[in-house]
């Protein structure tokens, strides 16, 4: 029993502060549980807000991006460099010059210290068909030796692993385009 008692006033003060802190945490947890329904919901909201866990919306978006990555390799994907080659006669395509200009606009939007995501979104929104995107992907690959979708995903996904809103805007826009 003697070992459990503090040996000095400083240790006694430290014990009291620790016990008081623990009591405050328990009281706060009980209050939050009564207010919000469950401590799990409170903790999930807190960790979601800090980026420590993903919200349901983020999980859904990450799943959509993962599916788009998988689909990008398929010939039927507008992110594939061969998609435009299936276009019927009279399909909307880009000229080499306009595709190269858009590829440069995308490339230049990613800076060392400062990015211009709006310029990247603007470049993609100049496209009027998925076949144009496919041709842009081919030109981007030829000029910069990188797959456009992979490059955009890496650039527009910050270190915490949550894709930026711009990537959602780009993928939603591309999905809304006609094929040709």
pLDDT band at 34; cut points 50, 70, 90: low
Weakest mean pLDDT among 52-61, 86-95, 109-118, 133-142: 52-61
- Show me where the domains of the chain are located: 2-49, 54-176
Mean pLDDT of 121-143: 96
- State the pTM of this model: 0.65
Q: Which of 90, 103, 173 is nearest to 135 (CA)?
A: 103
Residue with tokens 């240790």: 11
CA-wise closest residue to 122 among 147, 101, 144, 146? 101
Length of the chain measured in residues: 180
Identify whether the C-beta of residue 130 lies closer than 8 Å to the C-beta of residue 178: yes
80-90 burial, b for 16+ CB within 10 Å, e for fewer?
bbebbeebeee
DSSP 3-state percent helix, strand, coil across the chain (nearest 5): 70, 0, 30
**What local confidence, expressed as pLDDT, does residue 162 receive?**
53
Higher pLDDT, 17 or 41: 17
- Alpha carbons 178 and 130: distance in angstroms, whole number: 6
Check: CB of residue 45 under 8 Å from CB of residue 52. no
CA-nearest of 73, 12, 53 to 162 is 53
Residue with tokens 């991006």: 65
Mean of per-residue pLDDT scores for the chain: 81
Q: Cβ(136)–Cβ(130) under 8 Å?
A: no
Give the per-residue pLDDT at 52: 57
Q: What is the pLDDT of residue 50?
A: 58
Res. 126: pLDDT tops 70: yes
């Amino acid at each position: 029993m003697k070992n459990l008692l503090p040996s000095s006033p400083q240790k006694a003060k430290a014990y009291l502060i620790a016990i008081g802190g623990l009591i405050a945490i328990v009281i706060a947890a009980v209050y939050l549980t009564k207010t919000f329904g469950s401590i799990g919901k409170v903790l999930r909201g807190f960790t979601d807000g800090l980026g420590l866990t993903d919200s349901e919306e983020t999980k859904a978006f990450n799943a959509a991006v993962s599916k788009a990555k998988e689909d990008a390799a398929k010939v039927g994907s507008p992110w594939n460099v061969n998609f435009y080659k299936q276009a019927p006669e009279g399909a909307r395509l880009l000229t080499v010059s306009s595709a190269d200009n858009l590829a440069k606009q995308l490339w230049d939007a990613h800076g060392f210290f400062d990015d211009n995501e709006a310029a990247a979104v603007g470049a993609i929104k100049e496209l009027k068909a998925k076949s144009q995107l496919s041709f842009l992907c081919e030109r981007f690959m030829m000029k910069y030796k990188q797959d456009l979708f992979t490059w955009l995903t890496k650039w527009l996904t910050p270190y915490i692993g949550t894709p930026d809103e711009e990537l959602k805007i780009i993928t939603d826009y591309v999905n809304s385009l006609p094929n040709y």
